[in-house]
Amino acid sequence: MPVNAVAPKEGGSQTKRLILSRLRSERAPVSGEDLAREAGVTRVAVWKSIRQLREAGYAVSASAHGYALDADVADGVFPWEFPEEPSEVRYWRVTDSTMNRARKAAISGAPSGSLFLAEEQTAGRGTSGRSWVSVPGNLHCSLVLRPRLIPAYAHRAVLAAQCALASSVEEVTGFPVSLRWPNDVASRPTDGNPARKIAGVLAEYHASGTGIDYLVLGIGVNLIPPRALSGAGSLQHGPQRGPQRGRRLAILDAFRQALPRYLASDDDLIAEWTARSADVGRGFGLRPGVSGESLPATDGIFLGPDRAGWARVSIHDVEYRFPPGGVSLQKKG
């Protein structure tokens, strides 16, 4: 059952947010009476919120002097950890796909920036119909966006998300990453250590006329290795720098702050994406993608994305452009 961020004020996310803020700022216990007065709720509502925080993993102790936070949750991404209005952040312990939840909300008019999170997905999605293995402890979320983009340029949102995610991961953890077209974030290759995918971006949108009604942006980040995928990478094997409250929430906070800047940029977005990719200028084996491009298996040099986010590829010194899904770039050797 989802922990619904639109719960009423009594025992809801706003109450838990205030309680956590107060307990985190105090060394001495805080009385339930003070917490109730400051939150504008009853003592019973405070007790319910404390119980729910304990169930979520926060070590809140009670004594004759009040409540104290003995140990913070390792890396929670619960609605009360965000400053937004409760209706804009929704959380599930288990759901089929945050993309499904976000799309349904977008159709119903959810505002741009609405966030949908899950600890685990039973039907997580990747690109080209692939599944995304969701391990509890990793980051799985979707954002509703309403960008001013024409449908032909929709993939720019993915490039923007890749840049924002790469900068956020490096800022929070110090883990060096590289971008892959069309939608991956990978570890940087080193001697004896090949690049491995550590994060991915998925975009689904609905357009009418020449505009996009809504775009749902899915983000998956492996903080720990998905055991079902032997070739997948994770942030676990890199630098362990990060804030006390947990890298997952810190990465998400940094990503959400950085994304609007990248979405609003023009040619600078393509320049930064290109600078962050280790694949530009390299030779690849090209194979037909899922969109049915009439391309025989051949070799080419990846030149980076164009302004629409399509791949620019040089084949026998002639430049071609392919949409996402049009070709698969497979590393040679």
Mean pLDDT taken over the chain = 87
DSSP 259: H
pLDDT at 3 over 80: no
The pLDDT tens digits for 18-63 are 999 999 999 899 999 999 999 999 999 999 999 999 998 899 999 9
The pLDDT tens digits for 87-111 are 689 999 999 999 999 999 999 999 9
**pTM attached to this predicted model:** 0.88
Burial label, 155 (beta-carbon count in 10 A; 0-12, 13-18, 19+) = buried
- The C-alpha atoms of residue 145 and residue 206 are separated, in whole angstroms, by 11
